[in-house]
Amino acid sequence: MKLIKYLFLFYFLFIVTIQSKANPNDSISTKYAKGEFVTFCQLSISANDSITNEVVNLFVKQMCNDIRGLFKWGLKDMGLANEKDELIIFDFKETSYNKQTGIIKGTGDVHVTGITTFRNLSMDTKLTQRSFKGGRREVRLDLATPNPFVRNLRSSFYFVPKATHRNGYLQVTTNIEFAWFFNVFITQKTYKTILEWRIRQMLKNIKEESEKRTKMLGK
């Protein structure tokens, strides 16, 4: 009887330990309808709110004018600097920002392994930012001009501060419709290997940088 009790206690502690390591607030999902992929990703973040805002500000600043600097932390481990990939190789080269129009002009190459290469592809997106009551903020990108890779794109990043919660949240909702050439062979399964994991990695990079700075400053 005692053995059964000990085994039950061990099993209970094991389950509790496993569940405590998995954060139920972290999630990612993609829906597909009428040629459009819609991805939602959320990660909880236990960092100081003001520091997280500073990190987000840095991300936006470098996204506009210093993409190479962003590769060192915000876009690291995302395979966007000509790293090898099984299907598509991205090589983002530079970005520039026009304050009057709010347009970020990005340039890079997209290599489709064994098929073709789109060189000096332009990705022009309009940047808008909004702040809400309670400290929530939005950074939004909308495709300004369709190109051979993407026909339509809108992506909204949200930082939801701690407020009354234990943790804050980083969220991204991305709607993307590929141009005809890519739409032919990018299936829902392929999409996960090309873009879905990169969206989560971007949030993970922002989360880790914010939490690292919070820890360093003891806040």
pLDDT digits (tens, 9 = 90+) for 97-135: 999 999 999 999 988 887 888 899 999 999 999 999 888
pTM score of the predicted model: 0.85
- Residue 114 CA to residue 110 CA, distance in Å, equals 12
Question: Would you state the pLDDT for residue 41?
Answer: 98
Higher pLDDT, 14 or 191: 191
Domain 25-217 CATH assignment equals 3.40.50.2000? no
The two beta strands, 36-45 and 27-33, are antiparallel
- Residue 171 CA to residue 176 CA, distance in Å, equals 16
Residue 187 has pLDDT above 50, yes or no: yes
